[in-house]
Amino acid sequence: MKHQDALYAAEELQLHRAISEAISVTKNREDLFKLIFSELEKMFTLSMAGISILDRTKTHLEVFLGSTFVRDEQLNHLIKRQITPVAGTIFISMMETRQPVHVEFEKMEKEFVRDEDKEILKTLVSFGITDVVLTPIITGGDIIGFMMIGSKGDKRIQESQIPLLQKIVNNIGPSVKNYVIYDRLLQQDSLKNILLKMNNALAQLKDRDKLLLEFTREMHKVIPVKYLGLNIKMPVSRIPVSASFILDKAGDISQLQISKNQDIPILVLKGFCDISKNQLSREFLAEEFSILCGQSMYFRSLQAKYELKTIHFNSFMEDDGGETNLIIAKYDNQQLFEREIEFLHSIVPQFSFILKNFFAYEEINSLKQQLEKEKTLWIEEINLNDSFQEIIGSSIEIQNMLYKIKQVAPIDATVLIQGETGTGKELIAHAVHNISSRKNKALVKVNCAALPAQLIESDLFGHEKGSFTGAIESRIGKFELANGGTIFLDEIGEMPFELQAKLLRVLQEGEFERVGGKSVIKTDVRVIAATNRQLVKEVEAGKFRSDLFFRLNVFPVTAPPLRDRLEDIPLLVKYFMEKYSKRVGKPITSIKKMALDALCDYTWPGNVRELEHVIERAVIVAHGQTLEPDQFIFSSVQPAEIEPVQIKTMEEIEVEHIIRALKAAKGKVTGDGGAADLLGLNGKTLASRMRKLGIKRETMFSRM
C-alpha cells in the first residue's frame, strides 16, 4: 500500500510539474489548455473537459475556450453552449460552498433543476457519459468560473481524486484570469482599431455604401457575424437609411441590400424594449425570436432563408432626433458574450457620431451639386421665377395673374388683391414685393381682421406715451416700420370705417400722426391690400369709403379660385406631397389615379389652403408610398352659390356717391353741411365734377 501511495504521489508531482511547465512556455490559449487536458488524462479517465467563466454580474457562464475539449466531435457539437444562466442550477450552491461537486447520472435530475440543463445532461448520457466533476476556479479569493470533466462507463472519477483536481484547478486559475484580462484588453484594442479605421474611411470614402460595408467587415473581425442590419436616421436626413448584410464565415459579403426606405421593422423591435432609455439593448433568443417572427414578415424571411434563431438588437438615440439601430446574428446562432455586448455598447454611439458627420458632409455635397446644376437657370430667371416659386400652376388663369404681377411690380402703384379665402393672396403680395425695387427693404404684414378695432390705429400708426390707458411708452407703428419698403394690409375690408379716412391720407399725402401725437410723420411706403370681400358692394352699403376704394383699386389683381383652374391640381398635389412627406419622414412618391380624380371632382370651397390640408392629412395616415382615395377627408362645407357680379364703371359709382351726398345735404352743394363739405371737396371742384358727370338738380330729385 505504501508503495502504491508513493507511486501516486510521484505521478501527482509529475502532473503538477508538467502543467506548470506548460503554463510557463505556452502562449496560445488553445494549445495551453489542450496540453493541460492531455496531462489530466494521464491520471483521470476523461471523455470530456471544459472551462467556463462567470461574467462580471456573476449571472451567466461563458465558454472560456473556443470549443469544449471532447474526444467525440459529434458530442462536442451538441453540448457546446456559449452562454448559460446560472440561476436555478447547481452552480449557485457551488458559489456559496466553493467546493467541487461530483454529479453522477442518477443524481442529475435532482441537482440540475433547469429544463435546459436536463436536456444537456440527457445528451451526455446518450453518449455514455456517466458522471461529471464541477470544480470552482478561485483566484484572489474570488470565484471566476468552473472546470468540468466527465468520464464514460465504469471508469468513473474517484472521490479520492477530487482534492487533486482542486489543486490543479487552483494552479491554472491565475492563467485563466490573465487570459480573461487579456481578452478585455484585446477588445478595447479592437474597438480603437475599428474607430480609427472608420475615421480613416470617413476621410477617404465619399460613398455611403462603401462606408457601411467597411463597418460590417470590421465588426466581423470582433464578432463572428452572419447577419448584420443597420437602420440609421439622422436629423439632416429625415428618411431612414437601411442596410442589411449576409456574410460568409470568412467575413466576405455574400448578400447586400442598401435602401433609403425603412425596410427593417425597428418599431416592432422597440416594442419589446424600455424606450425610456437612451440606449436600448435586447437579445431575442429562440422562443422570443419566434414571437418576433410572428409579428414581422421581415424576420420570418430571415429565419426561413438563413436559418437565424437568435438576434441581438442595439439602438442608440441622440437628443437631436438622430438614432442608429444595429441588429446582428452570430454564425452559431448563440447569445453574445458579455464582452461582445460591451463592445456593441461602445461601438454603436461612436459609429453614430461618425455617421452624423458623414451624413452632414453628404448633405452639403448634395446641395453643392444641386447648386451647380441649377446655376445657369437661376442666373437667367432669378428676377422672375425665384419670386414665384410658391405660386404653383400652369393654367391660363395663373399665367394671366403672373403677367399682371410682372406688369405692376416694378412701379410703385398700389395693388388690390381680391379673391376667395385660401387662394394665396399673401403669396401674390410676396411676389409683387420680391420683384419690385423695394425688395431689399422690409415687407410688413398687417392682418386687419386679427386686431381689435381700438388697437388697429395704434398698430398701424403708432402712439405716444400716455395717449391712452396702457400706453406706458411711445411705440412706432407699422407704417414707420415699413418706410422705404412695402406694407401688406390683409383683409382690408375689415378695417373700421372711422379709420379709413386716416389710411386715405397716408395713401394720398404720404403722412400721418401717431395716436396722441402732434407732429406729422412722413413715410415712403408702397401699399398692397387684399380682401375676400366684394368691396364694390361694401361701398354701396356704406361700409367702405368709396374714395379709399378708388385709391386702393389702382391696379387690381384677382387670385383665381381652385375650381376655375382644376388642371393645376396635379402640380399642387405633387408639391404638397413632397413638402409633407419630408416633414413627417415618409417616402410618399405617387398617388392613385382614382385618388387624383376624386381631388379634381371636388368643389374646393377652401381653395388651395384646403387642398394643402387634405394632402397633409393623407400623408400622415398613409401606410405605403402611394396616396389612396380613402385617405382623403373632405370638408362638409359646400361653396356658396356664386352670384354673377354686376361690375359698375368708376364713373357710375362716382355719380351714385355724389348723388347720395347731395341727398344727405338736402340739395345743398356748398357751404357748411353741403355735399362738398361732406365729401371733403372744394365747392368749386364738386360743381365742376357734377357738370362733367352730367349731374343736375332735376337728376338728383328724380332719384330721391
Whether the CB-CB separation of 179 and 23 falls below 8 Å is answered with: no
Q: Are 264 and 227 in contact (CB under 8 A)?
A: no
Burial of 503: CB neighbours in 10 Å, binned 0-12, 13-18, 19+: buried
Name the CA radius of gyration of the chain, rounded.
43
Residue 193 has pLDDT above 50, yes or no: yes
Mean pLDDT lowest among 5-19, 173-187, 444-458, 496-510? 5-19
Q: What is the enclosing helix (H) or strand (E) of 197?
A: helix 162-204
Per-residue pLDDT, 559: 92
pLDDT of residue 389: 60
Domain boundaries, the chain: 2-173, 205-361, 388-558, 562-631, 650-702
Q: If pLDDT is split at 50, 70 and 90, which confidence band does 119 have?
A: low
Mean pLDDT along residues 86-101: 81
Residue 566 has pLDDT above 80, yes or no: yes
pLDDT of residue 613: 92
| 75 pLDDT more than 60 | no
* Chain mean position to CA 670: 73
At 416, the pLDDT band (50, 70, 90 cuts) reads: very high
The CATH superfamily holding the domain 2-173 is GAF domain (3.30.450.40)
The answer to whether 401 touches 555, Cβ cutoff 8 Å, is no
Best CA proximity match to 549, nearest among 492, 498, 506, 489: 492
Average pLDDT over residues 462-486: 80
What's the grid cell of residue 376?
Answer: 445657369
**Band of the pLDDT at 481, cuts 50, 70, 90?**
confident
Question: What is the average pLDDT across 321-335?
Answer: 78
Task: Tell me the average pLDDT across 450-455.
Answer: 72
655, 700 contact by CB (below 8 A) = no
* Mean pLDDT, all residues of the chain: 76
The average pLDDT across 119-145 equals 76
Query: Which one, of 465, 460, 470, lies nearest residue 521 by Cα?
Result: 460
DSSP state of 645: P
Query: CA torsion sign, 646 to 652 to 657 to 662?
Result: negative
Are 53 and 64 spatial neighbours (Cβ–Cβ below 8 Å)?
yes
In this prediction, residue 639 carries a pLDDT of 46
130-144, 339-353, 590-604: range with highest mean pLDDT: 590-604
Q: Which fold has domain 388-558?
A: Rossmann fold (3.40.50)
* Segments of 532-586 assigned E as strands: 555-558
**Does pLDDT of 3 surpass 50?**
no
306-311: long-range pairs with CB below 8 Å, 24+:
306/226, 306/227, 306/246, 307/333, 308/226, 308/227, 308/333, 309/285, 309/333, 310/283, 310/284, 310/285, 310/286, 310/334, 310/335, 311/227, 311/283, 311/284
Q: What is the mean pLDDT of residues 18-35?
A: 67
Rounded to whole angstroms, the Cα distance separating 337 from 300 reads 25
Same fold: 2-173 with 205-361: yes
98/262: higher pLDDT: 98
Burial of 176 (0-12, 13-18, 19+ CB in 10 A): buried
Q: What percentage of the chain has pLDDT greater than the value 90?
A: 6
Flag whether pLDDT at 110 surpasses 60. Answer: no
Query: Would you say residue 434 has pLDDT above 70?
Result: yes
**Cα dist. 195→188, 199, 214, 316 in Å?**
11, 6, 11, 16
pLDDT tens digits, one per residue of 148-157: 887 776 667 7
Q: What is the pTM of this model?
A: 0.40
Q: Which among 84, 81, 61, 80 has a CA at the least distance from the CA of 72?
A: 80
Please, which pLDDT band fits residue 595 given cuts at 50, 70 and 90? confident
Check residue 275 and give its pLDDT. Answer: 65
pLDDT at residue 112 is higher than 70: no
Which helix (H) or strand (E) segment is 229 a member of? strand 225-234
What pLDDT does 687 receive? 81
pLDDT of residue 190: 66
pLDDT digits (tens, 9 = 90+) for 202-254: 556 566 777 777 777 777 777 778 888 888 776 655 556 777 778 777 666 66
Give the pLDDT band of residue 85 (cuts 50, 70, 90): confident
Contacts of 469 (CB under 8 A, 6+ apart): none
Q: How many CB atoms lie within 10 A of CB 676?
A: 24
Bridge partners, residue 50, by sequence: 148
- Interior/surface letters 568-594, b for 16+ CB within 10 angstroms, e for the rest: bbeebbebbbeebbeeeebbbeebeee
Region 666-685 average pLDDT: 79
CATH code at 205-361: 3.30.450.40
Joined together, the cell numbers standing for residue 153 give 462507463
Mean pLDDT across the stretch 142-165? 78
pLDDT at 577 > cutoff 80: yes
What pLDDT sits at residue 418?
93
pLDDT grade, residue 374 (50/70/90)?
very low
For 677-703, how does the pLDDT look when each residue is reduced to its tens digit (9 = 90+)? 777 778 778 888 888 777 765 555 444
Give the model confidence (pLDDT) of 270-312 as tens digits: 777 776 666 677 888 878 888 888 888 888 888 888 888 888 8
Task: Judge whether residue 191 has pLDDT over 70.
Answer: no
- According to the per-residue pLDDT averaged within each range, which of 339-353, 538-552, 623-637 is highest? 538-552
Q: Give the per-residue pLDDT at 529.
A: 94
Percent of residues, the chain, with pLDDT higher than 70: 73
* CATH fold of 562-631: Helicase, Ruva Protein; domain 3 (1.10.8)
Specify the range with the lowest mean pLDDT, choosing from 7-16, 151-160, 478-487.
7-16
Query: Which of these ranges, 87-91, 386-390, 455-459, 491-495, has the smallest mean pLDDT?
Result: 386-390
Sorted by sequence, the CB contacts under 8 Å of residue 179 that are 6+ apart come out as 29, 64
